[in-house]
Amino acid sequence: MPKQIIKGREIVADDWNLVRAPEAAEGTTAADAATAAEVLGVPAGHVIIPLATWLAQREALASRAAAGEIGVWIAPDEDPVALRDDLQRLALVAVDFPKFTDGRGYSHAWNLRSRLGWTGELRAIGDVLRDQLFSMQRVGFDAYDTRPDRSIEDALKGLTVFSETYQASVDQRVPLFRRHARPAPAAASAEA
Amino acid sequence: MYQYDQYDHLIIRERIEQYRDQVQRRLNDELTEAEFLPLRLQNGLYMQRHAYMLRIAVPYGLLSSRQMRMFAHIARKYDRGYGHFTTRQNIQFNWIKLEETPEILSDLASVEMHAIQTSGNCIRNVTSDEFAGVAADEIIDPRPYAEVLRQWSTFHPEFIALPRKFKVAINGAVEDRAAIAVHDIGLTVVKNEAGEIGFKVMVGGGMGRTPILGSVIREFLPREHLLTYTEAIMRVYNLHGRRDNKYKARIKILLKALGVEEFTRQVEVEWEDLKGTEQTLTLEEMERIIAYFQPHDYKALPSYDAAAAHAEKPFQNWLKRNVKPHKVPGYAAVVLSLKKTGVPPGDATAEQMDFMADLADRYSFGELRVTHEQNIVLADVEQSQLFALWQEIKAHGLATPNIGLLTDIICCPGGDFCSLANAKSIPIAQAIAERFDRIDFLHDIGDFELNISGCINACGHHHVGNIGVLGVDKDGSEWYQVSIGGAQGNNSAIGKIIGPSFSAQQMPEVIDRLLQVYVRERTPEERFVDTAQRLGIAPFKEFVYATPIETAGRLVGEDEYA
């Protein structure tokens, strides 16, 4: 079966190849790891590559980017601002959640949508699970590469948990109190 | 008080369905415990030593009698007939079954309550002044802004997986009764020279392993910007707070690492393009929320001197300690003490809860408040009714005249319940309360804050106790480290450790010796904390450690449980 992801609110086949730098060997430094990402071989086809790989090889990858074959993923400790001038060359941007308990990716998504003007596909990758999808959708993700050991059909249910939300975010720029005329005390008491 | 409208009800209903499904998936093993853990924590459910503990949010400590009766119902139906009021103005039930939690949430929803974000690495229940709206020294009622923050922070999609927990407190009076200096964000509602309402914003206070008082990052934030500015603080923290070490993950560590100036600069830069966006509060919205917190329908009453009318000494003592001034003539606020000797601090039985709900209906417009010192307040009692009220509560163990005294101990659940604790805290509190159970002596010692935590997480606020007691683990046994000179409120201070720690059995004598030094050294108007801060730890230390402390006598701590 081809690989599947959730896009919008549907399960679709996906041919993007997520490229990660090999796990750093014991005793290597962060600088070694960065170098590894920079010199990483980029396979043919649709690829999502580390930010460091893109920044180091973007000239060499220019024609493939122009052909819509290149996406870039951002780690929690990276800043998507590094992509500011390159976004129009990318076919998709992904944000990595190495652990779902690391919430930096939510702010990266918000920044990409709200400040960097990214309107293309924004994909959550890594430890992406049903119970976080609703929040991911709210901060601007529209594609979810859910963890392969879990049912993707079940995960889809995570996108429709709430039908109202209090605060503004990317999916809804207007907070509840500006969207609806909410009742004043007397009316509320009468209802209760 | 605030009442849910259809949107609040809808969100809570959908939340319960989501949570019910999560519990079912956990029971079916479709969720691992590691995956379920943050989900249940964000719903206030902890796994403790013997059972699950469920922490229920009491927004800014305000409760209706109907809600209090629901706590009694939950205590009877799902727990063992009692509950524990916490230092964050919430209530915890300690003997809960996982399978029953969705039903408890449904019961709670029927009285407009929930357990959302009472735990976990997210924005927690906002706390405030227990005398908000009635305090004689209040400048502006902080509760509407606490409610605005409650709604905004509930399921905020971006801030659900922060580096660590995040606590906000808000005060609107001259005296700070909300301990804002030891919160991640501490807000003070203020007016500027033009008479406009806004907030003084303090960030980076906290207790735990590294106790730090908050730093002011903005002297005046116009109130309409409350949410966008908070969002800016949260985003800086979410992106830059440390995640490699949970003991260095609170915002206070980030603020200290960057320095106040640089932290403030980053927040202001972050805020630049948020300012004025749709999340900015409208005047209509603020007025709508404020309208829920209008003064009650008070009678025009003359001032009434209850002390002159009833000469009994116990009643006089109670008036002196447990009755607080009210901004409306003829009314007073009453603190019901949950610190009776022999009862764990903050515990109340289902019968007491029902009884307190009744009292609220008969004496105080049907409302109650939970204090961060783990007592209950009836905020609007007619002065002429004080004697009748006192007579009723005496019979229910709620009239101990010890508010703000040595035996009004703040105490976490400790090693009897909590799986984080290094040591038991409740037996220490009980042994100390027993040792000093002499009301004249307590009144002579006067204002006193004795705070006990069973571990460095500091749920018992030991850092800001005049005497703070911290349970520590040494080679597998329980010991207690003592600090003095801490304070909360406007003159917040972190206590200083006096020396090597003590066994459980030694603790009442340690307190006794500290008090002896105070009695010996005090000037006529000095409280314990003043003497301790004036003299420093030296004379206290010298006297406490001068001769060995007998460890015989009543056993508390581990030996009692061995």
B154-188 per-position pLDDT tens digit:
999 999 999 999 999 999 999 999 999 999 999 99
A129-140 per-position pLDDT tens digit:
999 999 999 999
**pLDDT at B556 (0 to 100):** 42
Q: Is A115 on the interface with B (CB under 8 A)?
A: yes
Q: How far apart are CA B330 and CA A66, in angstroms?
A: 79
Q: Output the average pLDDT for chain A.
A: 92
Q: How far apart are CA B440 and CA B457, in angstroms?
A: 34
B274-285 per-position pLDDT tens digit:
999 999 999 999
Q: How far is A163 from chain B (nearest CA, A)?
A: 8
**pLDDT at A1 (0 to 100):** 67
Contact indicator for B62, B1 with CB cutoff of 8 Å: yes
Whether pLDDT at A77 is above 80: yes
**pLDDT at B360 (0 to 100):** 98
- Label residue A118 by pLDDT band (50, 70, 90): very high
B307-349 per-position pLDDT tens digit:
999 999 999 999 999 999 999 999 999 999 999 988 899 999 9
Half-sphere exposure of A96 (CA within 13 A, CB side): 17
Same fold, B134-290 and B410-561: yes
> Which of B3, B121, B238 has its CB closest to that of A189?
B3
Q: What ipTM describes this predicted complex? A: 0.95
Whether A182 and B5 lie within 8 Å, measured CB to CB: yes
B111-165 per-position pLDDT tens digit:
999 999 999 999 999 999 999 999 999 999 999 999 999 999 999 999 999 999 9
> Which of A106, A129, A184 has its CB closest to that of B157?
A106
Q: How far is B111 from chain A (nearest CA, A)?
A: 10
Positive or negative, the Cα torsion across B294, B295, B299, B302?
A: negative
- Label residue B553 by pLDDT band (50, 70, 90): low
Q: How far is A179 from chain B (nearest CA, A)?
A: 10
- Label residue B531 by pLDDT band (50, 70, 90): very high
- CA separation, residue A14 to residues A11, A123, A144, B136, B549 (Å): 9, 12, 11, 65, 73
Contact indicator for B215, B260 with CB cutoff of 8 Å: yes
Whether pLDDT at A187 is above 70: no
Smallest CA-to-CA distance from B368 within B328, B410, B330, B333 is with: B333
Kindly state the percentage of chain B with pLDDT values over 70.
Answer: 98
Torsion of CA B320, B323, B325, B328, to 10 degrees: -140
Whether A192 and B112 lie within 8 Å, measured CB to CB: yes
Residues of chain B in contact with residue A103, where contact means CB-CB under 8 angstroms, are 121, 158-162, 238
B498-525 per-position pLDDT tens digit:
999 999 999 999 999 999 999 999 999 9
What is the pLDDT averaged over residues A47-62?
96
B380-429 per-position pLDDT tens digit:
999 999 999 999 999 999 999 999 999 999 999 898 888 889 999 999 99
**pLDDT at B552 (0 to 100):** 56
B420-454 per-position pLDDT tens digit:
899 999 999 999 999 999 999 999 999 999 999 99
Kindly state the percentage of chain A with pLDDT values over 90.
Answer: 82
Any idea what DSSP says for residue A87?
A: G
Q: Give CATH for domain B134-290.
A: 3.30.413.10
**pLDDT at B428 (0 to 100):** 95
A132-186 per-position pLDDT tens digit:
999 999 999 999 999 999 999 999 999 999 999 999 999 999 999 999 999 888 7
**pLDDT at B559 (0 to 100):** 37
B89-104 per-position pLDDT tens digit:
999 999 999 999 999 9
DSSP B196-209: -EEEEEEE--B-TT
Whether A174 and B112 lie within 8 Å, measured CB to CB: no
Kindly state the percentage of chain A with pLDDT values over 70.
Answer: 95
Fold of B410-561: Sulfite Reductase Hemoprotein; domain 1 (3.30.413)
Q: Give CATH for domain B6-109.
A: 3.90.480.20
Residues of chain B in contact with residue A154, where contact means CB-CB under 8 angstroms, are 30
Whether A162 and B152 lie within 8 Å, measured CB to CB: no
The distance of Cα B202 from the centroid of its chain, to the nearest Å, equals 18
Whether A135 and B3 lie within 8 Å, measured CB to CB: no
Residues of chain A in contact with residue B151, where contact means CB-CB under 8 angstroms, are 166-167, 176-177
Contact indicator for B178, B162 with CB cutoff of 8 Å: no
Whether B5 and A138 lie within 8 Å, measured CB to CB: no
Whether pLDDT at B492 is above 70: yes
Q: How far is B164 from chain A (nearest CA, A)?
A: 10
Q: How far apart are CA B167 and CA B237, in angstroms?
A: 13
Q: Where are the domains of chain B?
A: 6-109, 134-290, 306-394, 410-561
**pLDDT at B558 (0 to 100):** 36
Residues of chain A in contact with residue B32, where contact means CB-CB under 8 angstroms, are none
Domains of chain A: 4-191 (3.20.20)
Whether pLDDT at A35 is above 90: no
Whether B155 and A191 lie within 8 Å, measured CB to CB: no
Whether pLDDT at B253 is above 90: yes
Whether pLDDT at A13 is above 50: yes
The 3-class SS string of B67-132 reads: HHHHHHHHHHHHCCCEEEECCCCCEEEEEECHHHHHHHHHHHHCCCCCCCCCCCCCECCCEECCCC
Q: How far apart are CA B457 and CA B208, in angstroms?
A: 4
Provide CB contacts within 8 A for B84, sequence distance 6+: B91, B92, B93, B94, B344, B346, B347, B348, B413
Q: How far apart are CA B255 and CA B531, in angstroms?
A: 32
The alpha carbons of chain A give a radius of gyration, in whole angstroms, of: 19
> Which of A101, A138, A166 has its CB closest to that of B151?
A166
Class of domain B306-394: alpha beta
B32-77 per-position pLDDT tens digit:
999 999 999 999 999 888 889 999 999 999 999 999 999 999 999 9
What is the pLDDT averaged over residues A64-88?
97
Query: Can you point out the beta strands (E) in B441-492?
Result: 450-453, 467-474, 477-484
Contact indicator for A107, B158 with CB cutoff of 8 Å: yes
Higher pLDDT, B211 or B333: B333
Whether B158 and A168 lie within 8 Å, measured CB to CB: no
Smallest CA-to-CA distance from B429 within B370, B507, B501, B486 is with: B507
Residues of chain A in contact with residue B278, where contact means CB-CB under 8 angstroms, are 168, 173-175, 178
